[in-house]
Amino acid sequence: MRIVLGVGAGIAAYKSCELLRLLTESGHDVRVVPTPDALRFVGEATWAALSGHPVTASAWSEVHEVPHVRLGQQADLVMVAPATADLLARAAAGMSGDLLTAVLLMARCPVIFAPAMHTEMWEHPATQANVTTLRERGCVVLTPAAGRLTGKDTGPGRLPEPAELMRIAVRAGARGAAGLAPDLTGRLVVVSAGGTREELDPVRFLGNWSSGRQGYALAATAAARGAKVTLVAANVTLADPAGASVVHVTSAAQLRDAVTEAARDADALVMAAAVADYRPEIRSESKIKKTPAAPEPIRLVENPDILRELSGRRLRAGQVIVGFAAETGDLLGNGRAKLAAKGCDLLVVNKVGHGTGFGVSDNEAVILAADGAQTRVPLGPKEALADVIWDLVAGMFAG
């Protein structure tokens, strides 16, 4: 894949060196196009050594090759990381005062902006208006990560980690090569992931084997397709996916509160988390000690059925709700019964156990629809299953 890596003038430019290395080592042909001021943070020699191509920020270099035309026309993907507030503003205004903004005007391939700036700059109405403008034009503008910024400041505005940016780039580039547009642009989606834990005492809990990989694949794939993503993650140790606002929770009750709050304005909700059906009736405030006597039985009480609750009282008109069913027996029989009981639009039924489903990189499933349709997804990367799910959701939006 031929990639143009645009680099804005922000301190996060140092992270783009690692992104460049990851892309080139994966076999992609990357041309780095920094803004003139970006070269104050990382010099031409670094970009040239890592990419294997000459680097310039000026449209006046190699004029006979008309670089802004050549780079823009030949690129399969343009990713701008970091995208500063100034660069977003100039891109939204259609300015072309340097090589990078000129390339952005020429590009007809997928364009991804990965913003990085202080929280106040990101939240300013002018920046948000520019983000809206770019998204309306079909660009993918990722939601920045939250965390440590420059100095002692923390908050939204951090550039996502390079490995996660690469993941988004590869997904978006593959869709672009197939002639597929970012069809979730302008959509707000909520995804739950991981497995909840119900505490027995300060040390022990009831849980499950879910790693959160499928939910994270859904979040990353939705971001690559242009969606604004909120990810509610239960006990997941994976790196936060680029382009998603992540809310970390522990128990089913906490997940219920976080998902309900996030879903109020959502166009789609995908409940991929493995939520505990039961919790201990009483949580011991101290560690339960082993004694010579037989242990007291642990009484369980039922947790709220979050999927059924939200399916029954759609928080927004036209909201599409997708559930997951992890099964070990009759997949179709159990799945159809669960789809009818839950009331969601789609139910993804997948087999789990013995190295299948939980904790692995691949998955296979049957997706059941409320109208009786079913879609089989063969064993493959969890991102592939995620794309099929979003294909069906996008189709429901269009319908």
108 exposure class (CB count in 10 Å sphere: 0-12, 13-18, 19+): exposed
Instruction: Calculate mean pLDDT across residues 272-288.
Output: 93
Helix%, strand%, coil% for the chain, nearest 5: 35, 25, 35
Structure tokens at 184: 């979730």
Instruction: Calculate mean pLDDT across residues 35-46.
Output: 96
Instruction: Calculate mean pLDDT across residues 297-319.
Output: 93
Q: How would you classify the pairing of strands 346-351 and 362-369?
A: antiparallel
Read out DSSP for 46-113? Answer: HHHHHHSS---S-TTTTGGG-HHHHHHHH-SEEEEEEE-HHHHHHHHHT--SSHHHHHHHH--S-EEE
| Active site (annotated) includes residue 208 | yes
The C-alpha atoms of residue 173 and residue 2 are separated, in whole angstroms, by 9
Q: Which domains occur in the chain, in start order?
A: 2-177 (3.40.50.1950), 188-398 (3.40.50.10300)
Write down the pLDDT at residue 227.
95
Instruction: Give the number of other CB atoms < 10 A from CB of residue 396.
Output: 16
pLDDT tens-digit map of 332-370: 898 999 999 999 999 999 987 666 667 788 899 999 999
pLDDT higher than 90, residue 398: no
Write down the pLDDT at residue 63.
58
The C-alpha atoms of residue 367 and residue 391 are separated, in whole angstroms, by 12
Write down the pLDDT at residue 75.
93
pLDDT tens-digit map of 120-159: 999 999 999 999 999 999 999 999 999 888 878 889 999 9
- When pLDDT is cut at 50, 70 and 90, the band that residue 206 belongs to is very high
Q: Residue-wise over 238-255: b if at least 16 C-beta within 10 A, else e?
A: eebbbbbbbbebbbbbbb
Q: Are the CB atoms for 379 and 362 separated by under 8 Å?
A: yes
pLDDT tens-digit map of 310-326: 999 888 889 999 999 98
pLDDT higher than 60, residue 64: no
Q: Are the CB atoms for 172 and 182 separated by under 8 Å?
A: yes
Structure tokens at 151: 């100095």
- Say which residue, 72 or 272, is predicted with more confidence: 272
Write down the pLDDT at residue 288.
87
Q: Pick the catalytic residue from 130, 208, 350, 363.
A: 208
Residue 156: its H or E element: strand 154-158
**CA atoms lying within 13 Å on the CB side of residue 99:** 27
- When pLDDT is cut at 50, 70 and 90, the band that residue 61 belongs to is low
First to last CA, the chain: 33
The C-alpha atoms of residue 111 and residue 182 are separated, in whole angstroms, by 10
Q: What is the 3-state secondary structure (H, E, C) of 289-300?
A: CCCCCCCCCCCE
Q: Are the CB atoms for 173 and 110 separated by under 8 Å?
A: yes
- Say which residue, 385 or 178, is predicted with more confidence: 385
Percent of the chain with pLDDT over 70: 96
- When pLDDT is cut at 50, 70 and 90, the band that residue 66 belongs to is low
